[in-house]
Amino acid sequence: MSGRLRPLSIVATISLLAACEPPENVRALRYRVVFAESPLELTHGGGRWVEEIYIPDLKAACTLVHEHRDPLAGKGAEPRLYAFPADGPRNDLTGIGSPKPSAIEEIEIPADVAKEIRRLADLRKRWEEETWRLGQSIASAKLMKELPQGDGPR
């Protein structure tokens, strides 16, 4: 056999070199937002600061919070990611008492992680749409109904 590389060997070499390259990164923006469990909590001064990342090219954002998966299990809080479609960063909190928008830091994140964040954002959007659609179906079929307010357990 001569010292020439076969086409298959060239393809294998290129594949091996590509696998050794660092992952591609995408531009993202990191900033702080207030995370609250409900509007009531927020209007009463509750909530906590968390970091959020917005990925402009994918029109997606995510927030990492630490929550108790099962409060009765006695385990500590665990990281949980909330992802959602977004048109821009949500750092302007002047409407809820913050004197100015939180600072934006430009960062890079791995492209595969960014794609997973977008995938999760799409799942959340679909879940939200399905809860309304299915709620209408259940109500129209009279399988369940809204109970009068103020008729709590006795």
Rounded CA separation 64/62 (Å): 7
What DSSP line would sit under 40-87, residue for residue?
HHHHTT--EEEEEEEEGGGTEEEEEEEE-S-GGGTPPPEEEEEEEE-S
| 24-66: pLDDT as tens digits | 999 999 998 887 778 787 777 777 888 999 999 999 999 998 8
Q: How far apart are the first and last CA of the chain?
A: 90
Residue 16 confidence (pLDDT): 55
Residue 23 has pLDDT above 90, yes or no: no
| 131-143: pLDDT as tens digits | 999 999 999 999 9
Predicted model pTM: 0.70
